[in-house]
Structure 1
Amino acid sequence: MEEARGPLGLTEKIMRTIAAICLAGMAVMTGTDVFLRGAFNTPIFGCEEIVSILGVIAVGFALPYTHYQKSHIGVEILIRRFSKKIRDRVKFITTLATLALVSIISWRMFMYAGTLAESGEVSMNLELPEYYVVYVLSFGFFIYALCLAADVLSFFKKSEG
């Protein structure tokens, strides 16, 4: 599927940009920490936590972009040998199954974040509330689920037209 247009496409572009910024932030934080450790024997306090949080955001927010770029793993060797009609059906079934799985993951992560918020769970060094990170990751999976749902709808529109 090509990139989505409208609000979903705009959301995907914003998320992609945030993911790229997080990756750059991870590189800068890690490089700076290594330099300060080597040159001055002074690491950045909480660097591991910050890099981990940025990594979670980068992964969660890159999901919709990865979907539109078709950069996910697929078993193309076998599928390529089928007719177009069967390939389309297999794609529909796998998209539907992925939508179900990703929806459940997003929902359960959202519920887990609520549990973390109630318990007051914080990170070890910086004592940052961990539930924020889980909510952000849940949001990334939710937008990915919306992208998958858009694919399912486009399958039905194609078969009607």
Structure 2
Amino acid sequence: MQEPQPATPYALHDSFGPLGKFIHFLARLMAIIGGVIFVGLVVMSVISIVGRKTVGFVVPGDVEVLQMLSACAAASFFPYCHLRHGDIKVDFFTHNLPQKTLWIMDAFGSLLVGLFGALVAWRSWAGAMTVKEAGETSMILAWPVWIPQAFMVPGFLVLAAAGFYMFGHQLRMAAKERQ
């Protein structure tokens, strides 16, 4: 395994078209929002833990909030990670292959990422609606459980869009590459 280098084809491509740039903008915005959520969760956890150990103050429902929001925040990072080629790749056997072959293999991987994102978005939404119909709420705060589950859907939809866009982009890059 190796880290992508900024000078490689895996740096952000200037060859992204308007759609790719828009998807990248959405992915970056979602990653920033996810980061802000994680920072807020860390602050809440520190306040709760320090308060519990020092003055007996606990943030009510801190574990519930952590569980609900961390899933939403994590889902928001996936599209940006894929567009920046931050996914995990084991290229031990492929690092000596021609660049065109690598583009084609990456395109196939991006297609799978797009299909995965679409499937998980669909099932997350279906699950959220099932939980909504059941009226399930969290135990301590009595928050509707379906809302944070539904908030994961945009992350997976943008992941699907990023995967499908990168599939086409990588095939175009392969077509431009000489063997």
Q: TM-score, normalised by structure 2?
A: 0.82
Structure with more helix by fraction:
1
Q: Distance in 2 between matches of 1:13 and 1:75?
A: 25
1:112 CA displacement: 0.9
* Ranges in structure 1 where 5+ consecutive residues have no aligned partner: none
Which of 60, 70, 88 in structure 2 is aligned with 1:73?
88
Q: Distance in 1 between matches of 2:64 and 2:100?
A: 48
The question of 1:143 aligning with 2:172 is answered: no
1:145 CA displacement: 0.6
In 2 relative to 1, CA 106–153 (structure 1 residues): closer, same or farther, beyond 3 Å?
same
**What SS does the aligned partner of 1:82 have?**
coil
Match of 2:108 in 1: 93
* Ranges in structure 2 where 5+ consecutive residues have no aligned partner: 1-9, 14-19
Q: Percent identity?
A: 19
Q: Distance in 2 between matches of 1:32 and 1:147?
A: 37
Amino acid at match of 1:37: R
Which of 16, 21, 38 in structure 2 is aligned with 1:5?
21
Amino acid at match of 2:21: R
Kept in 2, the 8 Å contact 1:25–1:54? The answer is no
Match of 1:83 in 2: 98
1:74 CA displacement: 0.7
Q: TM-score, normalised by structure 1?
A: 0.90
1:88 CA displacement: 1.6
Kept in 2, the 8 Å contact 1:113–1:132? The answer is yes
Amino acid at match of 2:83: Y
**Count of paired positions:** 160
In 2 relative to 1, CA 10–84 (structure 1 residues): closer, same or farther, beyond 3 Å?
closer
Kept in 2, the 8 Å contact 1:99–1:149? The answer is yes
Question: How much is the aligned-residue C-alpha RMSD, in angstroms?
Answer: 1.7
Kept in 2, the 8 Å contact 1:106–1:139? The answer is yes
1:55 CA displacement: 0.9
User: Within 5 A, what are the aligned runs for 1:4-153?
Assistant: 4-6=20-22, 8-153=23-168
